[in-house]
Amino acid sequence: MSNIAVIGLGIMGLPMAVNLVKAGHTVTGYNRSEDKVNKLVAEGGKGASSVADAVKDAEVVITMVPDSPDVESVVSGVADGKDGVFANATKGALWIDASSIRPDVAARLAADAREAGLRPLDAPVSGGEQGAIDAVLSIMVGGEKADFDAALPILRAVGKTIVHVGPSGSGQTVKAANQLIVAVNIQALSEAIVFLEAYGVDTDAALKVLGGGLAGSKVLDQKGQKMLDRNFDPGFRLALHSKDLGIVTSAAREAGVVVPLGAAVAQLVSALVARGDGGLDHSGLFKLTAELSGKE
């Protein structure tokens, strides 16, 4: 069993930390909102007052924060006004960044981590809040193979499909592709449900039969009922998906490839965020599709 520090106890980070506790690890959490730390403590974890305090005795440091600047501030110490992960973590510790950030930033920070004596892995996750709660996340990991092998027992406590996809930054590249596929699927599902409702079809029955055919997907399984119920409580916020689609479109431009569907959905997501719906679940794409059709 390992001493693990988890920095960032949000929608994904808290259930991941709790599952690590359940697996028998000693888990110390830090979050800017103290109530999240208290929730971890109630589940058998420990709380820390700063990043430096959380990581000082950790063999493994996991960061799960919203965006590239947030990761940089946590590792540098800007996040809490004290020295961050790189200055305080034990030499030889594994640093697993489970955040979804730009691939180029992930590669640069990995190089900085190695200079600080740490073993970095970029390991973004997919599966949403429920996947984090159920410990069945899909985890795409970039970094050295030996470091991946060392981290595998830890990752198995929070995920089900765990794959080493290449050197540092590769995990973030695969996550960007994941977010592209998910966003386009959510938009297609939104359009399909608006279409079905316009014709008065039994939508519950329709989604059941669609789910059993080639149109079936985890997006349909997890988001279809939310759209039917108009329940957009966040499992993964539109604001974060907007950030991820920005990563996709920027990286695609740098690579010289086109993502026309991704770019179109990115604009729809941006429109929802701009009008104040960024806190909704990303299935909230349905709202805009319905409104454009004059159905809401």
Q: Is the pLDDT of residue 79 over 80?
A: no
Q: Is the pLDDT of residue 82 over 90?
A: no
Pairwise CA distance, residues 154 & 1, whole Å: 9
Same domain, 260 and 209: yes
Same domain, 143 and 199: no
Comparing CA positions, the residue from 124, 131, 80 lying closest to residue 105 is 124
Q: What mean pLDDT value characterizes the chain?
A: 96
Same domain, 140 and 272: no
Last residue of a domain, one of 150, 167, 184: 167
- What does the pLDDT average to over 47-52? 94
- CATH code of the domain containing 39: 3.40.50.720
Distance of CA 273 to the CA centre of its chain: 18
Q: What is the pLDDT of residue 148?
A: 98
Q: What is the pLDDT of residue 80?
A: 66
Q: Is the pLDDT of residue 266 over 90?
A: yes
Q: Is residue 43 classed exposed, middle or buried when 0-12, 13-18 and 19+ CB atoms within 10 A define those classes? A: middle
- What does the pLDDT average to over 14-34? 97
Report which DSSP code applies to 115.
Answer: H
Same domain, 141 and 251: no
Last residue of a domain, one of 133, 167, 201: 167
Determine what percent of the chain is predicted with pLDDT higher than 70.
Answer: 99
Q: Is the pLDDT of residue 78 over 80?
A: no
Count of domains forming the chain:
2
Q: What is the pLDDT of residue 83?
A: 78
In degrees, to the nearest 5, what angle opens at C-alpha 150 toward C-alphas 145 and 154?
A: 120
Spell out where the chain has E strands: 3-7, 26-30, 46-47, 60-63, 94-97, 119-122, 125-126, 137-143, 159-166
Domain that residue 7 falls in: 3-167
Same domain, 9 and 122: yes
Last residue of a domain, one of 120, 150, 167: 167
Q: Is 175 a catalytic residue?
A: yes
- CATH code of the domain containing 256: 1.10.1040.10
SS3 28: strand
Q: What is the pLDDT of residue 180?
A: 97
Same domain, 142 and 250: no
Same domain, 155 and 180: no
Same domain, 133 and 245: no
Answer whether 0.85 is exceeded by the pTM: yes
- Range name among 51-60, 76-85, 245-254 with the lowest pLDDT average: 76-85
* pLDDT tens, position by position, 129-180: 999 999 999 999 999 999 999 999 999 999 999 999 999 999 999 999 999 9
* pLDDT tens, position by position, 100-127: 999 999 999 999 999 999 999 999 999 9
Q: Is residue 115 classed exposed, middle or buried when 0-12, 13-18 and 19+ CB atoms within 10 A define those classes? A: exposed
Pairwise CA distance, residues 237 & 226, whole Å: 14
* pLDDT tens, position by position, 229-262: 999 999 899 999 999 999 999 999 999 999 999 9
Same domain, 68 and 48: yes
Same domain, 142 and 12: yes
Same domain, 138 and 204: no
Q: Is the pLDDT of residue 88 over 80?
A: yes
Active-site entry in 46, 82, 145, 175: 175
Same domain, 186 and 136: no
Please report which confidence band the pLDDT of residue 296 belongs to, taking 50, 70 and 90 as the band edges. confident
